[in-house]
């Protein structure tokens, strides 16, 4: 439980830091682009750690976590436990976030890079993450 909470908290911190760096890049401070990318990749890593940990909790039926308790059962098979991960709103949001942070949808990335540059896309993802965390 602690690993998930600390991963989400650290992801939020690095999302804020990446967002600030990319805002400055947008205002002409190109030297911060590399720093912003590093913060973004750290944010993505912590997001994936949190997602993997939640999946582990579902697969091992760790009912100490209310979300796992609410969306899985001992009698469910492995595939149903895995599906329980996105059974509720929080898990769905975390899955979307992990996919955006880790896999970077190739088509969306190509379109946004061509139109606005990679920093703009990363700023949108971190801003999306902050919206999920503040909700």
pLDDT, tens digit (0-9, with 9 covering 90-100), for 78-111: 888 888 888 877 777 777 766 665 444 444 444 4
pTM of the complete model beyond 0.75: no
- Per-residue model confidence (pLDDT) at position 115: 47
Average pLDDT of 127-132?
53
Angle at the Cα of 113 from the Cα atoms of 111 and 119, rounded to 5 degrees: 135
More confident residue, 22 or 103: 22
Residues of the domain holding 55? 2-134
Tokens 């804020």 found at: 16
| pLDDT score at 13 | 93
User: What domain count does the chain have?
Assistant: 1
């Amino acid at each position: 439980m602690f690993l998930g909470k600390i991963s989400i908290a650290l992801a939020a911190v690095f999302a804020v830091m990446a967002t600030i760096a990319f805002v400055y890049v947008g205002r002409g401070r190109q030297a911060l682009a590399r720093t912003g990318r590093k913060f973004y990749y750290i944010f993505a890593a912590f997001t994936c750690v949190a997602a993997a940990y939640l999946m582990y909790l579902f697969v091992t039926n760790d009912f100490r976590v209310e979300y796992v308790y609410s969306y899985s059962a001992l009698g469910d098979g492995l595939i149903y436990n895995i599906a329980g991960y996105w059974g509720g709103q929080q898990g769905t949001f975390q899955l979307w976030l992990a996919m955006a942070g880790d896999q970077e949808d190739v088509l969306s990335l190509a379109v946004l890079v061509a139109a606005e540059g990679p920093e703009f896309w990363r700023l949108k993802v971190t801003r999306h993450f902050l919206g999920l965390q503040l909700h």
